[in-house]
Structure 1
Amino acid sequence: MTVTDDQQVLDRLSTLRQHQQEGRRSPHKPLLVLLALGRLAVTGSSALPWSEAEERLADLLQDFGPTSKTSRAQSAAYPFTRLRADGVWTLDQNVPMDTVGPLREGVTGRLEASLEAALRDRPELLGTVARGLAESHFPGTVAPDVLVAVGLDPDLLQGRLTGAAPGARRRSGAWPARVIEAWDRQCAFCGFDGAAGGAVVGIEAAHVRWFTLGGPDDLDNGLALCSLHHKLFDRGMLGLDDDLGVVVSRRFSARTPQGQAVYDMHGRRLRPRPGTPPPAERHVAWHRQQVFQDAALAG
């Protein structure tokens, strides 16, 4: 179907079919579209040879997707071949779904022609689409990193979509303050409690199960975290075990004493103040399965 206006472009690219069940993350197609948008913004063409996509898309899925036992090449082949069914992606050869071998014969994918033309001619529309995809599939701590990784400007996130999708959930404006107060206005992981006068500085309310993936604005789905540990928690470098102890991913590394201080948090138990509900087991399990990267450090 040929697109003729901005709303059709937004509709086509915001309704990608994804395999999502019970909060399971599936960012494969959005990451491929974002990668193509990055190429289009830089080169004027969204054409993406499999010889490049096999590595770049696999890297994106490893860095920003849930941990998977599927091979890197196979993980990248899923969206590269399946996005055709959404009517927004084409391949220059007719290859089977999910099969890596034929892709290595020199296959190139790209956004559907009318979509690519509309996005190339209207850079502001490209930015709106990229912003919408990043905000819909990743929390605010991670979305800028995703845009940088695909070659787009993270300042795109300073704008906002003109209207929310019909039926979209609305965040609670009171929830962040309630969470921060419940955790004594300090980081639940490291204890940082910076303030400027009477206002906290660098302390943020973090969803354990992401709001974008069905996480509720409940106290048992929230942690007060400093900006650094909020970022590391949402990137899957930090997590929680069944006993609410902090765990550090084997993928995290640091060379300086300041960075290596993160290692020292491994095994540290959360100590919510009396009356503050700890993160619910179901939300912790979701984070462990869908966000935490690789495995925890030994010991």
Structure 2
Amino acid sequence: MTSKQDILSLFEKVRRAQRQGQYAPHKPLLLLLALARLQRGEPRLVLYRDIDLQLKELLRSFGPSSAPSSRHYPFWHLRTDADGSLWDLQADAGLLERPPAATPNLGELRDKQVQGGFSAKVDTALRQTPGLIQTVVRSVLASAFPETLHEDIIASVGLDLSQSLYSKEGPAVYDPAVRRRRNPAFRERVLLAYEYRCCVCGFDLKVCHLPAGLEAAHIHWHTNGGPDVETNGLALCALHHKLFDLGAFTIEPTELRVIYSQHAIASRQQDQQTPDSELRHHGVPLKSPQAIHQRPAPEHLSWNLRNVFKGPARPF
């Protein structure tokens, strides 16, 4: 049986976006979807056409606006990652003889009955090693997504983790090569910069002088190389942190206005004109930090706009 560390090493060798810092959730989401199938005892290989719609919906929910159109790429390209030891494809010989860069289009993957899944040795190790699926899931989540999205992704792909992502002893320990160490002072510096209030809605509840439900959000995600500095941070309540990481809104870089996506839809009773509607924040300037040098940096806001925000934006 292949060791747990050998399997983890293969997942760590999966290539991501070609440009450094670009958010590319395609492969991580496909891997999590495949892990969920395996956990349910389904066959090692699956026809692409049978997971196409689910992969599309996952990328619509957790990827940038352009992600669903290229949802078939990872199914094809994973076969060349980790020296070809992680992912198998089965199809007509003529199709598999194509150069790796000659990606089949969506129609070809669906119509030519292309199948894919973990290699036989990886599949066997994942099924037979207790706790290995959970360890791999934690590693994939930590390397690709902010923690605000972990539970939603787990539920959406259909994983059933018998152990929480966080043990009684604290956060799970990840290999430093997968997850960069966070600066523990980042949260306090960002909350202080924004005077311990959400910079979108002004939420500032304290319990015994302890800020409650207030978080320091990375504009350029830490998992994608974003630095632990005030200019890459926003003080957000738990709700707005979640909405920000889902791409429901972003921050306009010139006047620092809150910009909501057209995909963020409130009920008719909660439209933009209603005083307690979430959309009332659309177009409203961010509550500024105490010092000018702490304002969000344009380069970080641009990263978030390109990689996370689900455009197009709502009109003013």
Q: TM-score w.r.t. structure 2 length?
A: 0.87
Percentage of identical aligned residues: 38
What's the CA shift for 1:241?
A: 1.0
Distance 1:46 1:237 in 2: 36
Find the residue that maps to 1:191 and give its secondary structure. coil
> 2:87 is matched with which residue: 73, 86, 89?
89
Which residue of structure 2 lines up, in the alignment, with residue 158 of structure 1?
166
- For residues 184-238 of structure 1, what are the alpha-carbon distances to aligned partners after superposition, in whole Å with 9 as ceiling and x for unaligned? 1110000011111100111101011111111111011111100000000001001
> Given that residues 20 and 26 in structure 1 are in contact (C-alpha distance below 8 angstroms), is that contact kept between their aligned partners in structure 2?
no
What's the CA shift for 1:163?
A: 4.5
> 1:231 is matched with which residue: 216, 238, 242?
242
Which residue of structure 1 lines up, in the alignment, with residue 223 of structure 2?
212
CA 1:26 to 1:158, structure 2 compared with 1: closer, same or farther past 3 Å? same
Equivalent positions of 1:14-163 (< 5 A) are 14-68=12-66, 72=68, 75-86=70-81, 87=84, 88-93=86-91, 94=93, 95=95, 96=98, 97-99=102-104, 100-103=106-109, 104-153=111-160, 156-159=164-167, 160-163=171-174
Counterpart amino acid of residue 148 in structure 2 = T
CA 1:213 to 1:108, structure 2 compared with 1: closer, same or farther past 3 Å? same
Counterpart amino acid of residue 148 in structure 1 = A
> Given that residues 134 and 147 in structure 1 are in contact (C-alpha distance below 8 angstroms), is that contact kept between their aligned partners in structure 2?
no
List runs of 5+ in structure 1 lacking aligned partners: none
> What is the CA RMSD across the aligned residues, in angstroms?
2.1
- For residues 152-202 of structure 1, what are the alpha-carbon distances to aligned partners after superposition, in whole Å with 9 as ceiling and x for unaligned? 146642245544234953211111011111101110000011111100111
Find the residue that maps to 1:176 and give its secondary structure. helix
Find the residue that maps to 1:286 and give its secondary structure. helix
**Residue 274 in 1 paired to residue 294 in 2?**
no
What's the CA shift for 1:53?
A: 2.1
Distance 1:259 1:156 in 2: 37
> Given that residues 248 and 296 in structure 1 are in contact (C-alpha distance below 8 angstroms), is that contact kept between their aligned partners in structure 2?
yes
Distance 2:214 2:179 in 1: 27
> 2:261 is matched with which residue: 230, 235, 249?
249
Counterpart amino acid of residue 42 in structure 1 = R
What's the CA shift for 1:256?
A: 7.0
Distance 1:275 1:239 in 2: 21
> 2:201 is matched with which residue: 186, 190, 199?
190
CA 1:166 to 1:134, structure 2 compared with 1: closer, same or farther past 3 Å? closer
What's the CA shift for 1:101?
A: 3.0
List runs of 5+ in structure 2 lacking aligned partners: none
Which residue of structure 2 lines up, in the alignment, with residue 295 of structure 1?
312
Distance 1:163 1:265 in 2: 37
> Given that residues 44 and 120 in structure 1 are in contact (C-alpha distance below 8 angstroms), is that contact kept between their aligned partners in structure 2?
no
What's the CA shift for 1:274?
A: 3.3
Q: TM-score w.r.t. structure 1 length?
A: 0.91
What's the CA shift for 1:292?
A: 0.3
- For residues 121-146 of structure 1, what are the alpha-carbon distances to aligned partners after superposition, in whole Å with 9 as ceiling and x for unaligned? 12410110011101110001012211
Q: Between 216-225 and 74-83, report the one with greater CA deviation.
A: 74-83
Find the residue that maps to 1:247 and give its secondary structure. strand
> Given that residues 53 and 76 in structure 1 are in contact (C-alpha distance below 8 angstroms), is that contact kept between their aligned partners in structure 2?
no
Distance 1:158 1:254 in 2: 33
What's the CA shift for 1:109?
A: 1.1
> Given that residues 194 and 200 in structure 1 are in contact (C-alpha distance below 8 angstroms), is that contact kept between their aligned partners in structure 2?
yes
Distance 1:205 1:163 in 2: 21
- For residues 1-35 of structure 1, what are the alpha-carbon distances to aligned partners after superposition, in whole Å with 9 as ceiling and x for unaligned? xx721110000012201223141112211111111
Find the residue that maps to 1:43 and give its secondary structure. coil
Find the residue that maps to 2:176 and give its secondary structure. coil
